Amino acid sequence: MNFWIGNSHVYGLERAVKASGNPMRTQIDASEPNEKDYIRAVKLGSTRGGEGHDNFLKGITVQLDVGAPLYWWKEAQRYHWFDFISSESTMHCLLKFDVAAQCVDETDPKILERMRELIAEYNAIPEEDREAKIAKWRVLVASLPEGFCLAATMITNYQQLKTMYRQRRNHKLKEWHIFCDWCDSLPRFAELTRPAEEK
């Protein structure tokens, strides 16, 4: 298995674009956005992160499914608004997975062979020997290769994706390049988050 993103859904884009003008209004305007609203939103959204001008991007919610190796998840989890809705579980399903098929192509075959051995050793322990089962289970979980992929349904927003994109587009992991390409596939993402010279 290799890194993948699917089932992407974007919500609230038009409402957030309209809301980008709220600081200059005396009354909230809930009408459909017009060309002026989009021009303002592009200007505000393409400012540097942390200035606050792009806060309306938080209103553009994104849900997605991601299948990624453990080494990618460790980096992705540093973002405060890239939250798990639900994920696959090694605790519940490790023995149901085909570990070799669940790992990225670059996972060392010797490690995969050792995992097969550990699973066989675990399965050979009688069910009534609970203490030995638990001890071997801990070895299994601790030995799982970093290239093992788990999938999760996530929720985020355009402001967080803007930060992730800017910090990760030139990263050495190919998974981040795929992620950034996915960001660019989202409706109006590049237009709303990057200065004209970067689009």
pLDDT tens, 106-147?
A: 999 999 999 999 999 999 999 999 999 999 999 999 999 999
Query: What band does 197 get if pLDDT is binned at 50, 70 and 90?
Result: low
Query: What band does 196 get if pLDDT is binned at 50, 70 and 90?
Result: low
pLDDT tens, 2-53?
A: 999 999 999 999 999 999 999 888 889 889 999 999 999 999 999 877 777 8
The answer to whether 119 and 140 are in contact (CB under 8 A) is yes
pLDDT above 60 (res 199): no
Residue type, 170: N
Residues 6+ apart with CB under 8 A from 114: 143
- Residue 113's CB: how many other CB atoms inside 10 A? 11
What pTM was computed for the model?
Answer: 0.91
Tell me what percent of the residues of the chain surpass a pLDDT of 70: 98
Beta bridge partners of 157: 61
Beta bridge partners of 83: 155
**Residue 9, SS3 per DSSP:** strand
pLDDT tens, 56-102?
A: 999 999 999 999 999 999 999 999 899 999 999 888 888 999 999 99
Q: Which tokens hold the place of 58?
A: 């938080």
Buried b (16+ CB within 10 A) or exposed e, 89-108: ebeeebeebebbebbbeebe
Helical ranges in 21-129 per DSSP H: 35-45, 70-76, 90-93, 99-102, 109-124
